[in-house]
Structure 1
Amino acid sequence: MGNRKWIDISQPLTNDIGVWPGDTPFTFTLSFTKEQTGSVNIGQFTTSVHTGTHVDAPYHFDENGEKIHELDVNIYIGTARVVDVTGCDMIGREELECFDLDGVERLLLKTSDGRGISRFPEKFTVFRKNIGSFLKEKGIRLLGTDGPSVDAIDSKTMDAHHSLNDNGVYILENIVLSEVEPGDYELIALPLAIEGADGSPVRAVLRPLA
């Protein structure tokens, strides 16, 4: 058996992490120090729920969609396949049908060789309208990408988000796969149970199956 240690594929939440243009920046501060309280440090943070590695709830783009606290946690725990599609500007049926995805429930796509997290990317790989129907045919329930969104930064129609949602595929964004080899893994990427929320940061980890 090879090395089966868990691999962290999350972006660290730092005070200089790049956020979606115009969105709430991440800040962590100590509200009270141990010196002040006499016993403990107490911290607080402010953030958009779409900062760093996170999942989108359907409510993010659909007024009638499920909210974070309503999602099935089983979607975000289980076997996953990492596939390298580096160099593709757009991804859909055309780009993925050459890969063996039989039996895959969670698909994690490596679209770049990595990027610094302190600056929001000017360009990233996005997804075609046919992505949802293709993944449904394959039985895939979760799509993960190392980009900050499945749609372009200036999209108002959110075609890929709706395509995935219409076909029962959930979304995990901003994972870090630069040091991860293609193959099969166990995935844990649990969202927080934030009542009424449209998304949630996650601590995403992988462990090789073999």
Structure 2
Amino acid sequence: MLALSYWARLMYKSEYDTSYVGFTTDGARWLVKNTDIKLVGLDFLSVASDDHLLSAHLEFFESREIILVEGLKLEDVPVGMYNVHCLPLRLVGAEGSPIRCILIK
């Protein structure tokens, strides 16, 4: 539980912390090519590790199969099975947008 509370606090630090866990380029490529996962969500600023910010995102974007949801606020969500519904703001010509996610237990 200590590790979870440490990582949950990363989003609220005043300085950017590069120690968070995220996908490398190889990890993103493997996920795209070897799974049927359609959504990857993370409770920090990026699903990609700090050393692979651009290249890991490009692996996900080029596949157009996996939706990335970054900046989720999950620390108050009890453990359980949920359906997640993501409602994006449609922005013409953009590769991403603000999104509202709704969890239904």
Q: TM-score, normalised by structure 1?
A: 0.39
Number of residues of Structure 1 aligned to a counterpart in Structure 2: 99
Whether the 8 Å CA contact 2:44–2:72 is kept in 1: the answer is yes
Give TM-score scaled by structure 2 length. Answer: 0.70
Aligned residues: percent identity? 26
CA offset at residue 135 of structure 1?
A: 5.2
Q: CA deviation at 1:119?
A: 2.7
Q: Is the 2:28–2:56 contact (alpha carbons within 8 Å) kept by the matching residues of 1?
A: yes
Match of 1:189 among 72, 79, 86: 86
Segments of structure 2 that go 5 or more residues without pairing to the other structure are: none
Structure 1 residue aligned with 2:59: 163
C-alpha separation in 2, matches of 1:165 and 1:182: 30
Write out aligned runs for 1:16-27 (5 A).
none
Task: After TM superposition, list the pairs within 5 Å mapping 1:8-157 onto structure 2.
Answer: 112-115=7-10, 117=12, 119-123=14-18, 124-128=20-24, 129-134=26-31, 136-153=33-50, 155=52
Q: How far did 1:136 drift?
A: 4.7
Contact 1:112 1:178 in 2 (8 A): no
AA at the equivalent of 2:101: A
Which structure shows the bigger proportion of residues in strand conformation?
1
- Change in 2 beyond 3 A, CA 1:131/1:155: closer
* Cα gap change, 1:152 to 1:189, in 2 (>3 Å): same
Runs ≥4 in structure 1, deviation > 3 angstroms? Answer: 114-118, 152-156
After superposition, the Cα gap between the structure-2 partners of 1:142 and 1:113, relative to the gap in structure 1 and judged at 3 Å, is same
Report the 3-state secondary structure (helix = DSSP H, G, I; strand = E; otherwise coil) of the residue aligned with 1:163. Answer: helix
RMSD in angstroms over aligned alpha carbons? 2.8
Secondary structure of the structure 2 residue equivalent to 1:193: coil
Residue 114 of structure 1: how far off its partner (Å): 3.5
More helix per residue: 2
User: 1:132, 1:169 within 8 Å by CA — same for their partners in 2?
Assistant: no
**Equivalents in 2 of 1:133, 1:147: separation in Å?**
21
Give the deviation of 1:143 after TM superposition: 0.6
Larger Rg, first or second structure (1 or 2): 1
Contact 1:131 1:163 in 2 (8 A): yes
**Structure 1 residue 161: Cα displacement:** 1.1
